[in-house]
Amino acid sequence: MTKPPADPDSGCFLQHLKVERRLAERTLAIYGDALARLETHAAEARVPLREVQVHHVRRWAAQLHGAGLSPRSIALHLAAWRGLYRWLGRQGAVKLNPVDGVRAPKAGKPLPKALSVEHSMLLADHHDQETDPLLDARDRCMVELLYGGGLRVGELVALDVHASDRAAGWIDRDSGDAHVLGKGSKRRSVPAGKAALEALDAWLSVREQLALPGEPALFVSNRGTRLTASQVRSRLKRRALAAGLPTHVHPHMLRHSFATHLLQSSGDLRAVQELLGHAHISTTQVYTKLDFGHLSKVYDAAHPRAKRSS
C-alpha cells in the first residue's frame, strides 16, 4: 500500500466496505491502495475527487499502465474507483460516475507451458524402481500416449481395450492409431507412435492382474476400475518428481509438449491442428508463439541476413 487515503470521502467509503459490506482485510487493503493512488492523481491534476471527469480517469489508467502495472492490477484499481463513485452517487454527492465505461487493457493469454525435448524423453523413459511394476507399466503407457499422441486427459481415461459401439475411444493395434472422442463429441484418429505401442503391449500383458472381470477400460486403478482424470494427474506428478524433473508436470503439459515439438520438427501448422483436434487454426497458432525461441535460433544460424559482419 502506498499510503492510506486521506480524503474524507475515501475514508467513509472504506468504512462502508468494512462495516456494511464486511470485506476481507486484504481486499480492504487493495481498495485503500487504489483510492490512495486516485487521491494522488487528483492532487497532481488539482481537481477535487468529486469533480473528477472521464478524461481524468482515462489518463490516470494510462499512467498506471505506463508505470508497469499489469492489466489485472489496473482492473482492480478501476473497480475500487468505480465503487467509490457509485457509492458517492447513492449519497447524491456526484451526478455521474466518471469510471463507467473505462476498462483496463486486456490481459494477454498466458502461453501454454511445455517441457523440453530432453525432459519429455526423461519422463517417458523413466522406470520407477520404487513403485509396483504393474503401476509403472501402466503409468509409462499413459505418458507415452499423452506425449506421443497429444491426447487430452479425458480422452486418455475414456479409452477402452477393445473397439465397440459403446467405446468412446480405443487403440487399433494393427494400424497403430488411437481413436478418441474429443471436444464437441468429435472423433479423430492420431498415430500412437512406436514407443507408445511398445508401452501399450507391456501394459496389456499385465493389465488383467489389476482389472476387474469385464472392465472395459484400458487404464484401471489398483481397485480394478476405470482410472479417473484426477488419478492420472496425481500419478503423473509423482512420476515427474521421481524422474527428477524440475517442474510440476500435468497431463495437458504433455499435450503442449507434443504440439510444440512436432511443430519444431515439421513446421506444419495444419497437420498439428488436425492431430490436436482443434476446430480453429487460431487455437493451434499459440504454439507458433511458444516456438518462437526455436525459430529465432534457426534464423540466426541459417539466414544470410542474420549473420553479422566481422
At residue 221, φ and ψ (nearest 5 deg) are -85, 180
For the four alpha carbons of 192, 193, 195 and 198, in that order, the dihedral sign comes to: positive
pLDDT of 308: 46
CB 104 within 8 Å of CB 75: yes
CB 89 within 8 Å of CB 9: no
| Euclidean distance between CA atoms 297 and 310, whole angstroms | 19
Distance of CA 96 to the CA centre of its chain: 39
Q: Is 287 a catalytic residue?
A: yes
Q: Is 103 a catalytic residue?
A: no
Choosing from 77, 152, 226, 261, the catalytic residue is 152
pLDDT of 110: 60
Q: What is the CATH number of domain 117-297?
A: 1.10.443.10
pLDDT in tens, the chain (310 residues): 456 677 899 999 999 999 998 888 888 999 999 999 999 999 999 999 999 999 999 999 999 988 888 888 999 999 999 999 999 999 999 999 999 989 888 766 665 678 888 898 999 999 887 789 999 999 999 999 999 888 999 999 999 999 988 888 999 998 999 999 887 788 888 888 899 999 999 999 999 999 999 999 999 999 999 999 999 999 999 999 999 998 889 998 998 888 888 877 777 777 778 778 777 766 666 666 544 454 445 445 555 555 444 3
Cell of 154: 479425458
How many residues does this entry show for the chain?
310
pLDDT of 295: 45
Q: Where are the domains of the chain?
A: 8-90, 117-297
Fold identical between 8-90 and 117-297? no
Was domain 8-90 assigned CATH 1.10.150?
Answer: yes
Q: Is 58 a catalytic residue?
A: no
Q: Is 278 a catalytic residue?
A: yes
Choosing from 119, 255, 256, 261, the catalytic residue is 255
